[in-house]
């Protein structure tokens, strides 16, 4: 839900501040933080699945969800701080 609300406004803003003819570059730079956040989150997710959901065991430990929630919360906090400071 958040992505559906946030993305259109983010792209609209990045297009409105981009110089004429450079919209593609600005859109790429605007997407860079999201891309940078998805890389470590994906690696952490894979590691957590290997560690806490073994192929031959049960998957009941909630540590993986707590870790992913922490990473997501840090990312959201940094994004909010960035918006407030600019």
Give the tens place of pLDDT for each residue, 1-25: 566 666 677 777 777 888 888 888 8
Q: What is the pLDDT of residue 27?
A: 81
For residue 11, give the nearest of 23, 20, 2 by alpha carbon.
23
CA distance 69 to 71: 5
Average pLDDT over residues 59-66: 71
Task: Say how far residue 28 (Cα) sits from the centre of its chain.
Answer: 15
Is the pLDDT score of 73 beyond 80? yes
Q: What is the pLDDT of residue 32?
A: 80
Is the pLDDT score of 57 beyond 70? no
The mean pLDDT of the chain is 76
């Amino acid at each position: 839900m958040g992505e559906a609300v946030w993305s259109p406004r983010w792209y609209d803003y990045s297009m409105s501040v981009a110089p004429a003819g450079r919209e593609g570059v600005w859109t790429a730079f605007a997407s860079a933080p999201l891309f940078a956040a998805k890389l470590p989150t994906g690696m952490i997710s894979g590691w957590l699945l290997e560690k806490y959901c073994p192929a031959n065991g049960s998957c009941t430990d909630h540590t993986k969800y707590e870790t992913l929630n922490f990473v997501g919360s840090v990312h959201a906090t940094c994004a909010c701080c960035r918006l407030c400071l600019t």
